[in-house]
Structure 1
Amino acid sequence: MRRQRHDSADRPFIVIWEATQACPLACRHCRAEARPDRNPGELSTAEARELMAQVASFGSPPPLFVITGGDPFQRPDLYDLVQAGAEMGLPMAVSPSGTPTLTADALARLKQAGAHAISLSLDGSTAEIHDGFRATSGVYGWTLDAWRTARELGLKVQINTTVTGHNLDDLPGVVRIVHDLGAIAWSAFLLVPTGRGALLPGLTAEQVEDVLNFVYDAGQVVPARTTEAHHFRRVAVQREILARHGADHVAALGLGPLYQRLRQRLTELDLPPRRARRPPMDVNAGRGFVFVSHLGSVHPSGFLPISAGNVRTESLTDIYRTSDLFTGLRDPDRLKGRCGACEFRSICGGSRSRAFGETGDPYAEEPWCAYRPGSFPYQDDLRALAPAAAG
């Protein structure tokens, strides 16, 4: 487990700003329910600069600042804002949509303005799978072209994959492309029922266990992580302890046929192992993470539609450090159900966004987790490896 270098109650590890909800795509899972035109109520250029100044005021090391959307390229001031943030000392990243706006010239201008990284979405290993999910033909090709160009320019690239029923068995194919093209990280995102994503069928908790264990295996060949799947940290700890005992993780964790298929296909790829596995980072909604909407409202996550305030009227630092919502989400004793009783609660905590999306309560138990508290067979090892987990 990688811990944050500073107190997560004092400053976030990452701040994501939704610069606009405008986007030419109509992706089936879109959190923002993106639309063709920009909202006139978006933060202005001056307000966006003030937001970045507030982020810089958290202190050193400054949080990573990510400009997302919609499609950030729909804002004509994007390059000026990236430059302004970089001049304030913020590590700047941009999360664009895979559209024709993502040209070599646009990426070069981002790099010149001071961006050091971008994130792109790849939701399938073929155009048929990816473009079908994105509901737009050509997105797959635009994404791969932008990926190659960004790397040639020296931009770091993170690849995000939304995991739903449409691509469960295709995940090894995505891993192959990530390995071949190169990325600083591959993040498997578990769907949260918000925005258009509320209309898509979810996974079962057992399928999620299989997927998370596959992502752990994929970490042997690509830098793998997860988004809105905080129980991946539990899986990482479990797998480490089981490996020390030489135990069969399939039997010990009760993994199913989906995992067996995914593992077999990963093995068949015969990809060379990485020199070292990077442990997952201890970041969760409101605990190292903050999201600011295009209208300035502040949320613990972009997938948790509860506002703790607005940067137009309040200080982001005050909202993050003192609001009831953020301080509550940083307290593992507030968790309910199995999450509240779980010995892994302080390093996992479950997806607060998914809990809210399915129950209306951000402190409810993680609905896509199959683990039963206390059932892991090596509790003494758990306390030695992660003493904070076995509370």
Structure 2
Amino acid sequence: MRRLRHATAERPFIVIWEATQACPLACRHCRASARPERDPAELTTDEAVDLMAQVARFGRPAPLFVITGGDPFQRPDLTTLVRRGTELGLAVSVSPSGTPTLTRQALAELRDAGTRAISLSLDAAGPAAHDGFRGVEGVYALTTRAWRDAAALGLKVQINTTVTRRTVDDLPDIAAQVRDLGAMLWSVFFLVPTGRGRALAALDAAETEDVLHLLYDLGETVPVKTTEAHHFRRVCLQRAALARHGVPAAATPGLGPLYRRLRRRIDELGLTAGPQRPRRPPLRVSAGDGFVFVSHRGQVHPSGFLPLPAGDVRTQSLVDIYRDAPLFRALRDPDRLGGRCGACEYRSVCGGSRARAYATTGDVHAEEPACGYLPGSFAYPVDAPRQT
């Protein structure tokens, strides 16, 4: 488990800014319910620069600053914003959509303006399923081309993958692409029922557990993290404890048929037989606790998947909102958690997805619906983390 060197109550690890909701795609899971046209109420260029100046005022090291959307390339000032953010001392990354605007020249201009990295979405291992998920033909080809172009230009690339019941069996083959094409990180996103994602079939708790254990298996050959699956931290701690006690992966309690099916596929692909890399420990960052999201209109949320406003950067300081807003302070208090999360010995390192809890129950402190762990049931309690 990695912990930040600075207090997350004082400074976030990462700030995500939704530069626009305009996007020509029609992704089935879209949190923003993106639309073709830009919103006239978006932050202007000057307001966006002021936002980045507010982020810089958190101090050193400055939070990572990610420009997302919609599709950030729908803003004609994107390169200017990257340059200004870099001048302010921010490490700026961009998360573009797989559209015809995503050209090698456009990526080169982002790099020259100071972009450190880009993130690209790959939700299936082949064009038919991926394009169907994104709602537009040709997106898979544009995305994989951009992946190669970005790598050739010296940009770091993160690959984002959304897991649903329709796409879960593609995970091993996507992992193989991450291994073969290279990426600094593979972020596997577990669906939150918000925006268009409410219409999709998410994994249940048992299936989620199976996938988290599979991702742990892949961690020595692929640089993997999870998004909105905070209990991956618990799984990592438990698997490390089982390894210390000589319990093999196949004997891990509670693993089901989905794990076995996916495990067979990663073995077929040789994904655990190659050179081992240092395992990437999960980072203790959660909504409102190391993480903050700013909408295209300047509203501040704990995350993009938790649509509860805590302030507005047009009229308030982002630093003050993050540090002092009651919603953010409550989210940083594990003693506010209810249900199994509140009783769990891993609550201080996990805490569950507050976005999924809210989307499912309307209570931001409710137990994590996609976790089936029974508090206190792990066979080696001495290896559980102490509360802090």
- TM bracket, shorter-chain basis: over 0.9
Given candidates 313, 316, 320, the residue that maps to 1:314 is 316
Secondary structure of 1:2's aligned partner: coil
- The residue that corresponds to 2:140 in the other structure is 140
- The residue that corresponds to 1:287 in the other structure is 289
- The residue that corresponds to 1:298 in the other structure is 300
Please list every run of at least 4 consecutive aligned residues from structure 1 whose deviation after the TM superposition is greater than 4 angstroms. none
Q: TM-score, normalised by structure 2?
A: 0.98
Q: CA deviation at 1:200?
A: 1.0
CA distance in 2, matches of 1:273, 1:228: 29
Secondary structure of 2:279's aligned partner: coil
Query: Compared with structure 1, are the counterparts of its residues 249 and 373 closer, same or farther at alpha carbon in structure 2 (3 Å cutoff)?
Result: farther
Q: CA deviation at 1:248?
A: 3.8
- 1:31-80 CA-partner distances (Å, limit 9, x unpaired): 00000000000000010000000000000000000000000000000000
- The residue that corresponds to 2:190 in the other structure is 190
Q: CA deviation at 1:250?
A: 4.2
Contact conserved, 1:91 with 1:115, CA < 8 A, in 2? Answer: yes
1:207 equivalent to 2:207? Answer yes
Matches within 5 A, 1:332-343: 332-343=334-345
Q: CA deviation at 1:205?
A: 0.3
CA distance in 2, matches of 1:334, 1:387: 17
Secondary structure of 1:302's aligned partner: coil
- The residue that corresponds to 1:19 in the other structure is 19
- The gaps in structure 2 that reach 5 residues or longer are none
| Percent of paired sites with the same residue | 66
- The residue that corresponds to 1:387 in the other structure is 386
- The residue that corresponds to 2:36 in the other structure is 36
Secondary structure of 1:47's aligned partner: helix
CA distance in 1, matches of 2:249, 2:339: 26
- 1:273-330 CA-partner distances (Å, limit 9, x unpaired): 3331110111000010000000100000000000001001110000000000000000
State the Cα RMSD in Å. 0.9
Secondary structure of 1:343's aligned partner: coil
Contact conserved, 1:129 with 1:166, CA < 8 A, in 2? Answer: no
- 1:319-365 CA-partner distances (Å, limit 9, x unpaired): 00000000000000000000000000000000000000000111000
- The residue that corresponds to 2:48 in the other structure is 48
Amino acid at match of 2:276: R
Contact conserved, 2:163 with 2:202, CA < 8 A, in 1? Answer: no
Secondary structure of 2:311's aligned partner: coil
CA distance in 2, matches of 1:245, 1:236: 14
Amino acid at match of 2:195: G
Q: How many residues were matched structurally?
A: 386
Q: CA deviation at 1:249?
A: 4.2
Matches within 5 A, 1:49-68: 49-68=49-68
CA distance in 1, matches of 2:68, 2:13: 16
Q: CA deviation at 1:4?
A: 0.9
Secondary structure of 2:383's aligned partner: helix
Q: TM-score, normalised by structure 1?
A: 0.97
